[in-house]
Amino acid sequence: MTVRMYAQQRRLDVGKITVVVEHQWLKDEVGRTLDRIEKLIHIEPQPPDDVLHRLLDIADRCPVHRAMSGSAEIVTRYDP
């Protein structure tokens, strides 16, 4: 939602934005439980590289991402 709002405010012509979120509980080498969230972002059609990099940066600044990043590892990936 944050990416879409940013694109609209900047009048960027982006098409369909899809985000798939996956959650995993992992164990580290000493047996501690780690919380890992992965966001897979797909934008169709793919925007120019400079716009794409800015949108991915904005995705990492969304309020939900920031709130959860204190207790979980959050990884953002782009799906071309």
Average pLDDT of the segment spanning 44-52: 93
Could you say which architecture CATH assigns to the domain 2-78? 2-Layer Sandwich (3.30)
Would you call 3 helix, strand, or coil by DSSP?
Answer: helix
Residue 74 pLDDT grade (very low, low, confident, very high; cuts 50, 70, 90): confident
Cβ contacts of 7 within 8 Å, gap of 6 or more: 14, 17, 55
Tokens 């939602």 label which residue?
1
Instruction: Work out the average pLDDT over 72-80.
Output: 86
Angle of helix 49-59 relative to helix 2-9, nearest 10 degrees, comes to 130
Domain boundaries, the chain: 2-78
SS3 at position 20: strand
Q: What is the mean pLDDT of residues 53-70?
A: 86
pLDDT at 20 (0 to 100): 92
As a whole number, mean pLDDT of residues 45-61 equals 92
Look up the pTM and report it: 0.76
